[in-house]
């Protein structure tokens, strides 16, 4: 019989991410976690996380019997984790094994960050750590989740929810959205952008999963927003308005709002504000110390407006953001595991 691998020492100062794999877990989410948190980053000149897998059994049969996972650590690896990614699986009605739920509860009790991808919210709810908290899950299982776990506030129209020390993603691909968000929260926008480029995946997708809910296809599909979005991103320092975006797209403001809601799940103004704050974060990370310059260059106007929006969008004041993610902030762990409740509203 295959044995669990022995524990190896964690690189000094690195935030440890451990994925618990259980019977019939989905390989895709496991791959997403490995890609975002587990790969070496030679292009960055440093590692971001100490990453490992663990399981309650020496051999774990994955979803639909695709393959058997072996050679990973035992559940004891989760005891030393700073972030624990809990298992999911397509059969949400079958309870998780008690040993896995106990490991999740112990991690929560000692203050570890918990992450659930797709149906991983069911695992967290079964463990009892989501009562009175916010979470999301795949839209197909929303009714089932609410019926089984009425004490949890389910937000089904978002790609992921950041509730401080517990974060959940709505579906399989949303695991990448949440993973990149966590990297951005831990290491800043520049590092998250570098990881997203390697993934060939957007560092931030606006909107929520409502846009993916099954619905009839319209007789005349809307025009793509891609051209006007690209045009606006090149002019964030200019006094752009919703009317200007609508004019560029050759539609009325009302039509533009409908297209943003349908295609991105947000409003033109909210999208524009998010892009400007992201640009401001990148400018600060690159070493710009004058807030008035950052505000003007990102189209946010004044330093006061910049402070207000950065606090709202990132949970950090500009000065705090610079200390954590600016040049000279250090190459070790920077802010990993610290929660900014309400910062992840996508």
Summarize pLDDT for 132-176 with one digit per residue, the tens. 999 999 888 889 999 999 999 998 878 889 999 999 998 777 888
Tokens of 103: 């490991």
The 10s digit of each residue's pLDDT in 302-346 is: 999 999 999 988 888 999 988 888 876 654 433 333 333 333 333
Residue 340's pLDDT is 37
318 vs 101: CA distance, rounded Å? 39
48 — pLDDT class (breaks 50, 70, 90): very high
pLDDT at 298 over 90: yes
Tokens of 281: 């974060």
Residue 197's pLDDT is 80
Dihedral-angle region of residue 6 (phi above 0 means left; psi in -120 to 50 means alpha; beta otherwise): beta
Residue 331's pLDDT is 42
Residue 124's pLDDT is 96
Residue 179's pLDDT is 92
Answer yes or no: are the C-beta atoms of 327 and 286 closer than 8 Å: yes
Residue 87's pLDDT is 87
Average pLDDT over residues 104-108: 96
Element (H, E) at 115: strand 113-117
CA distances from 37 to 18, 187, 209, 226, 329 (A): 9, 12, 24, 29, 21
SS3 label, residue 180: helix
148 vs 21: CA distance, rounded Å? 23
With tokens 């739920």, the residue in question is 101
Strands 73-74 and 166-169: unpaired
DSSP label at residue 97:
P
Burial of 249 (0-12, 13-18, 19+ CB in 10 A): buried
The 10s digit of each residue's pLDDT in 228-247 is: 998 999 999 998 999 999 99
Burial of 18 (0-12, 13-18, 19+ CB in 10 A): buried
Q: What is the pTM of this model?
A: 0.67
DSSP label at residue 134:
E
341 vs 164: CA distance, rounded Å? 4
Average pLDDT over residues 280-300: 92
Answer yes or no: are the C-beta atoms of 305 and 296 closer than 8 Å: no
With tokens 């919210």, the residue in question is 121
The 10s digit of each residue's pLDDT in 181-231 is: 999 889 888 888 888 887 766 555 544 444 333 333 333 344 678 889 989
Alpha helices for 234-290 (secondary structure H): 242-249, 253-264, 268-285
77 vs 72: CA distance, rounded Å? 10
SS3 label, residue 314: helix
Provide the greatest CA pair distance for the chain: 67
All domains of the chain in start order, with CATH: 15-199 (3.40.50.880), 216-325 (1.10.10.60)
269 vs 275: CA distance, rounded Å? 10
Residue 94's pLDDT is 78
The 10s digit of each residue's pLDDT in 54-82 is: 998 888 888 877 888 888 999 999 999 99
Average pLDDT over residues 120-130: 94
Residue 9's pLDDT is 42
34 vs 18: CA distance, rounded Å? 10
Strand ranges (DSSP E) for 147-225? 153-154, 160-162, 166-169
């Amino acid at each position: 019989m295959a044995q669990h691998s022995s524990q190896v020492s964690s690189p000094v100062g690195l935030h440890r991410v451990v994925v618990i794999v259980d019977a019939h877990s989905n390989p895709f989410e496991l791959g997403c976690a490995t890609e975002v948190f587990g790969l070496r980053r030679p292009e960055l000149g440093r590692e971001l996380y100490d990453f490992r897998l663990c399981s309650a059994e020496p051999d774990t049969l994955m979803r639909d019997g695709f393959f058997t996972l072996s050679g990973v650590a035992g559940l004891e690896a989760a005891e030393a984790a700073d972030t624990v990614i809990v298992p999911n699986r397509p059969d949400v009605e079958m309870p998780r094994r008690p040993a896995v739920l106990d490991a999740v509860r112990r991690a929560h009790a000692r203050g570890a960050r918990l992450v659930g991808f797709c149906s991983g919210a069911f695992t967290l709810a079964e463990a009892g750590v989501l009562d009175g908290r916010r979470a999301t899950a795949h839209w197909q299982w929303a009714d089932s989740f609410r019926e089984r776990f009425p004490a949890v506030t389910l937000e089904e129209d978002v790609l992921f929810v950041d509730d401080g020390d517990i974060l959940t993603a709505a579906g399989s691909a949303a695991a990448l959205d949440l993973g990149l968000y966590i990297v951005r929260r831990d290491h800043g926008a520049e590092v998250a952008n570098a990881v997203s480029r390697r993934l060939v995946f957007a560092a931030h997708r606006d909107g929520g999963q409502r846009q993916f809910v099954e619905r009839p296809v319209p007789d005349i599909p809307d025009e793509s927003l891609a051209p006007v979005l690209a045009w606006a991103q090149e002019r964030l320092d200019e006094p752009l308005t919703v009317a200007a975006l609508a004019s560029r797209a050759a539609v009325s403001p009302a039509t533009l709002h409908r297209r943003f809601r349908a295609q991105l799940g947000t409003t033109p103004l909210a999208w524009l504000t998010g892009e400007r704050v992201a640009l401001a974060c990148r400018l600060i990370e690159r070493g710009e110390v004058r807030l008035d310059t950052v505000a003007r260059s990102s189209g946010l106007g004044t330093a006061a407006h910049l402070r207000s929006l950065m606090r709202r969008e990132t949970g950090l004041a500009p000065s705090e953001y610079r200390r954590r993610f600016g040049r000279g902030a250090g190459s070790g762990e920077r802010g990993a595991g610290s929660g900014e409740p309400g910062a992840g509203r996508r």
